[in-house]
Amino acid sequence: MKTSISQKNTVFVCLNHISQTYGFQLLSYRVCPSLYKKNAAYQIQTQQGTFLVKPYGGNSQQLEAKLKRILSIQNLGYPHMAKLIQQPDGKLYTRYANQIFYVSEWVAGKQLTGHPFDCHLLGEALGKLHRLPTPERRLSCKNTLLKLRKLHAKFIDQNLPYVQSTRSDIQIWFQQHASILKKLSSETFSILDKRSLSNELDFSLSHPTWIHGDVTKPNTIRREADICLIDWEQTKIDWSLLELVKALANTTNFSPTLLISMLNGYEQEHPLNMSQKQIIAALFRLPREAWFVASQHKKIQSTSQSFSILKQSWESRLKAIKILDDWALF
């Protein structure tokens, strides 16, 4: 759909107001689309530099809590992030026409490629993040593991039977793969329940770390010298081992070379013992992509795209599980 002159003028007026709030003089802007939104953010060119303006869909209390967490990581000197920009009076966000916006620095670079060194750098960036000090108050992320068990139970008891009852390509695929899907999840929890891993599992769950919360290819920018993670709205203190597992699945296309490169980069900053490796390999077995497709069975459009990715990557995923099993032995 083409943008009319009046729409462009409306956007310019909005961004000009935001720019002035931050002490900038707006020169021009361009729309930055995402996978889900045509106007997910705006790049603004100002006399003071180039910045990203991001609209937020929730309420101000939610955003303020999120931005304070981001600012906490920024204040720890973490180098692999787009810095939040504060207004002259220290405020972290502004409003225009009942919409909330916040501003960060613009990160110049390109998206993650299929080069092993990019994955190595991403592993380093995650390793550094997971080593950052957290608030002194005692925290735990045992509920995170409990949620995984509940997701597995819901898949077995509700979503899988429903998908298998529909007449579609999805039904056929899940009928053909139901046994292996159940087997992989059961193996994960059997491994995690081993007495030999109980001490390390309890320790990792009772010592959560800062996590980004959404490490994906679109949220990873390859700068000239390093990796920068963007879109930190999901950041929190949680289970670092699970974040590493999700990042491996989201960014490597299950390529053995890229998986090992990322793990090597991670261990360069955050060495792992054998028990930690076994926990990571166990968590990697969870067929989370299949869980998601089955849970979205009524949303035809999103299910179609996710199901296509699931089918195309399934054999590579099974091979990747073997790669991590072997990696965890050393």
pLDDT at position 300, please? 56
pLDDT at position 241, please? 99
Cβ distance 99 to 45 under 8 Å? no
pLDDT at position 267, please? 99
Does 318 score more than 60 pLDDT?
Answer: yes
pTM given for the model: 0.94
Does 327 or 6 have the greater pLDDT score?
327
Q: Where are the domains of the chain?
A: 5-106, 116-327
- Domain 116-327, classified CATH 3.90.1200.10, yes or no: yes
pLDDT at position 138, please? 66
Euclidean distance between CA atoms 165 and 156, whole angstroms: 13
139 pLDDT tier (thresholds 50, 70, 90): confident
CATH number of the domain located at residue range(s) 5-106 in this protein: 3.30.200.20
Does 255 score more than 80 pLDDT?
Answer: yes
pLDDT at position 1, please? 40
